[in-house]
Structure 1
Amino acid sequence: MFTLWNMVSVWLEYYLLKSVYTGIPSLVETCQRRNQQQLQEGGGEEEEEHEDGERRHGMTSKLSKFPFINAWIVYSNQEIVLPGVSLASLYFTVLSFGTLMTATLEWKGVPAYLIAIVRGVSAMVGITATILYPILHSYISTLRTGLWSIWAQWCCLLVCVASVWVSGGITSAWMLMCGVVASRLGLWMFDLSVMQHMQDLVSESDRCVVGGVQNSLQSMLELLTYTMGIIVSNPQDFDELVILSFLMVSLAASLYTFYIYRGSNHVSNI
């Protein structure tokens, strides 16, 4: 059934991507300009561009045989590296309706149908974030929207942390679920804010590389979450993962706050 769904959905995804590409003329024009520029460039121009790249990137040119390393160097040289790391840190968490938290909730006695309902509510809250983001962004800047969003998520997750010290499995489970559901609003608004900030600051030539590294970093931290689930496999010890996840959100909020206030140019934009 899962394979069948993927076979059906891939065509829908392809149709939507093609609709976006053909519906925005600037995307087509950019691609055409890039192709024309590549055709017009001769060997001398390529050599000159290569020399300029060596002067700009230094060590990067020496590592040209290692595109994986080059990609991380390009990413680390971007101004948005701290917001990117902040966003990626949020993927190292069990405070979502994934398999680890679902298994723990069932162990605490929450019926599966009730978990499914709450998960649906959580998804609706996430959709609400996509509606509220442009409204909030129209009144304040991208940076301030991200700042308020990440700390709003942090505040909501305090309920999850408090559930660690609450006796009674059902009460603790409800606090855990409510905290996670409420935090989705700040989480997805922060995600949108960072993504837009990347679009604004990353040059077009580096955008694919930066986006690829960002996705890799997020996937790596998400994989580490499941690794921690293997290490801390007893549902009775799930509270340890809750605390660790909250600390990662705290780290993300602190890094993003430091990024904003470290320079006067950022302060003037919030």
Structure 2
Amino acid sequence: MSLFLSSFPSAVAHASLFIQNSSVTACCIVLMLVFSYKTDIEHIWHGWLTVLCYAVVIILADIANLASTALTITIQKDWIVVITGENRSHLAGMNATVRRMDQIINIFAPLSVGQVMTWASNVVGCGFILGWNLVSLLVEFIFLSKVYQMVPQLAIKPQQPIGEHYIERQLELLNVQGNFQLNTEVRAHMVRRMLRICTDGWKSYYRQSVFLAGLGLAFLYTTVLGFDCITTGYAYTQGISGSLLSLLMAVSAISGLMGTFLFTRLRRHYGLMVTGIISSCLHVCCLMLCVFSVFAPGSPFDLGIFSVLMGVNSSINMGELEQSQVHLYPPHRNMNQPILPDRSSIHWTNNTVLLENIHTGDHPDSYISIILLFLGVILARIGLWSFDLTVTQLLQENIPESERGVVNGVQSSMNYLMDLVHFIMVILAPQPQQFGLLVIISTLFVIAGHTMYFSYTRKYKAMEKE
């Protein structure tokens, strides 16, 4: 995906926008059909048509996410740099403004859709998303075209540094000699050349002066300390209601907005490097509250469950395991139940569906643990977003224009890879009693990421002295 970002900025932006909105539109249509004819669909092919529909929805969502990533890299990592030119203060302000817009939209857009689904139906909600998606496609396409026309520098093809041949290799893939009769040898040659291009991209990422800063940012993605489905599920097991979680997510978004304002002020007074150091320290200090919550009263943390699940201690039977899971109520449903409960019980947030009538866990003996956990998560957003903006601007300022698309594409791949690691962690430790271990491991990953940034700043200062 990232291979063509540096070469064809306008084509990538418009194509990504079209693919993203088309995928979302198709996904809405499939979901509308599933919601409207669910009973009939479940009896076709012994229920396999339902599975096929779910698979299509997931594939379309992945395609939309991939196109969204390409569009984000093009606009937020490339176009913004070209538009602001050499004015670093303007670049910092524009980065912060874009991030604030993202935070605000992530609050109000899903809530507006949730209101439609709550008071109307899931079908009407999907129709609302479909219509809004088509309108936004037209508006975004016009705005992108206007910006591209107003800034002539965006149309200038970046000059390649000596020794780099990304564009030529890409064109060679598209202009294979012959009369479209590709034999096995030619196909193997194309595969080797594509692998070489990918390898060159990773090598280019590694050669960048800001490599450690970017890798440190990627390490922050390996964490359960955020308002995702994992932390939300754990909160349910601790007796936290969906309405309270919605409020906490809104407060978390406000905390993220505060981080963008903190970034601009710190950078103005202390510079970009020091801003990253202060943001890192603030982030880690706030996450210490989450670590304290693991050992605070009311925490279900119990490493003894590992011996139960692995069968190490034969004297403990499954009956004792069930008794120890006083906070866990796994959902049960069959194929004839609806995908979601009655629409009156649904609350929609920026990234999670909260169910009002879901069976939450028994109330713990103390709420000190869960309070410390969410207090740490919410306050940590201030330092997190400030640090994210710091590394983002470092990447924008220090990556050569000809390699900007490739390197930012690799950076996004690293972010997704580290995000995948945290899901693997949850698979290996899925019980609420094990969540405390995930909190500790997540904090260690965050500390490792910030340590990489400190190493980068130390290396940068050493280079300045020379």
User: Normalized against structure 2, the TM-score is what?
Assistant: 0.49
Q: 1:91-240 counterparts in 2 under 5 A?
A: 91-168=221-298, 169=364, 170-240=367-437
CA-to-aligned-CA distance 1:52-90 (integer Å, 9 cap, x gap): 437xxxxxxxx7542221211111111111000110000
In the alignment, the residues of structure 1 paired with residue 397 and residue 424 of structure 2 have an alpha-carbon distance, to the nearest angstrom, of 35
CA-to-aligned-CA distance 1:168-210 (integer Å, 9 cap, x gap): 1421111000000000000000000000011100011110011
In structure 2, relative to structure 1, the CA distance for the partners of 1:10 and 1:201 (3 Å cut) is farther
In structure 2, relative to structure 1, the CA distance for the partners of 1:145 and 1:236 (3 Å cut) is same
Partner of 2:143: 19
One-letter amino acid matched to 1:240: L
Partner of 1:253: 450
Q: Does 1:29 align with 2:140?
A: no
**Residue number among 71, 74, 85 corresponding to 2:215 in the alignment:** 85
Partner of 1:53: 164
Contact 2:148 2:154 in 1 (8 A): no
In the alignment, the residues of structure 2 paired with residue 10 and residue 73 of structure 1 have an alpha-carbon distance, to the nearest angstrom, of 40
Structure with higher Rg: it is: 2
Deviation at 1:250, TM superposition (A): 0.7
Partner of 1:8: 132
Higher helix share: 1
Partner of 2:332: none
Partner of 2:351: none
In structure 2, relative to structure 1, the CA distance for the partners of 1:120 and 1:2 (3 Å cut) is farther
Moved more, 134-143 or 171-180: 134-143
Deviation at 1:33, TM superposition (A): 2.6
Deviation at 1:15, TM superposition (A): 3.7
CA-to-aligned-CA distance 1:98-141 (integer Å, 9 cap, x gap): 11111111101111211110111001111222223222211121
In structure 2, relative to structure 1, the CA distance for the partners of 1:145 and 1:13 (3 Å cut) is farther
Deviation at 1:2, TM superposition (A): 5.8
Deviation at 1:231, TM superposition (A): 1.1
Gaps of 5+ in 1: 38-48, 55-62
User: Normalized against structure 1, the TM-score is what?
Assistant: 0.82
| SS at structure 2 position matched to 1:72 | helix
In the alignment, the residues of structure 1 paired with residue 281 and residue 126 of structure 2 have an alpha-carbon distance, to the nearest angstrom, of 37
Partner of 1:262: 459
CA-to-aligned-CA distance 1:234-270 (integer Å, 9 cap, x gap): 11110000000000111011111111113435677xx
Contact 1:260 1:266 in 2 (8 A): no
Deviation at 1:19, TM superposition (A): 3.2
In the alignment, the residues of structure 1 paired with residue 232 and residue 146 of structure 2 have an alpha-carbon distance, to the nearest angstrom, of 41
Provide the identity percentage. 30
Contact 1:64 1:70 in 2 (8 A): no
Contact 1:89 1:248 in 2 (8 A): yes
Contact 1:95 1:180 in 2 (8 A): yes
One-letter amino acid matched to 2:396: Q
In structure 2, relative to structure 1, the CA distance for the partners of 1:266 and 1:236 (3 Å cut) is farther
Report the RMSD for the aligned CA atoms in angstroms.
2.7
